[in-house]
Structure formats: C-alpha cells, structure tokens
Amino acid sequence: MFWAWENDKVGRHAGSIVYKKPMQPIKIYTTQYCGYCARAKELLRENGLVFEEVDVTHDDPMREKLVEMTGGRLTVPQIFVGSVHLGGYSDLAQASSDGKLDQLINEPSP
C-alpha cells in the first residue's frame, strides 16, 4: 500500500515511513454538484493521494482556458499529473487500475 500527502510526498509501507521522494503534483479542475468530480476526488483520496482542486464553477475564463489546456474537452473533472493531462474521471479510474497513474505520479520532473 502506498500513501502520500503534501507535495513532497512521504511513502509509507506497512505502517512505517520507508522513503521520501518527490512526486508529480495532481491538479483536478472541478465544478460544484458534479458527480464525476466527487468520484474522482474520492478515488484519489482512496489512493492516499493529495491533490489541488480548482473549482471553475463560476470562472468562465478559466473554464475556457481549461478547454484549451485539454485539447477541447468540455467536461469536468479534468485531471493533470504534473504537466500531463490525464483526462476525466473514467481516464483516472483506468489509469488507477492499470498502473499508469502510479507511473505518472512517480515520473521524475523534466
């Protein structure tokens, strides 16, 4: 089991801290009353991952910028790991189950 919090994450294994290493920050763009956003945040928390949430509910300019940043995605949530656009909730769930999320999080910064 891997636990992480704060942005310079602390690794824990079997209850003891075994290593510290830098991890890519996770940023999630959300709106209020968004079921997929809630599920995405829950999944991240279940994995012990800390994230920064950007609520774009009342921020149309940011929402427009988000569409650009994601290559035209119009839905929320949109999740970034470091500079990599992971996608929405279903992309996060897939990445969590196939190991891509771990890989992205642990990738060294460019």
Ligand X SMILES: N[C@@H](CCC(=O)N[C@@H](CS)C(=O)NCC(=O)O)C(=O)O
The alpha-helical segments, DSSP class H, found in the chain are: 35-46, 60-69, 89-98, 100-106
Q: Which is nearer to ligand X, 94 or 103 (CB)?
A: 94
Q: Can you read off the two tokens belonging to residue 105?
A: 């999080």
Stretch 34-73: interaction string toward ligand X, x if CB under 6 A: xxx-------------------------------------
Determine whether 105 is exposed, middle or buried from the number of CB atoms within 10 Å of its CB (0-12, 13-18, 19+). buried
Tell me if 29 contacts ligand X by CB under 6 A. Answer: no
Bridge partners (DSSP) of residue 7 are: none
Q: Which is nearer to ligand X, 49 or 87 (CB)?
A: 87
Size, binding site for ligand X by CB under 6 A: 10
Summarize as ranges the residues that interact with ligand X (CB under 6 A): 31, 34-36, 75-77, 88-90
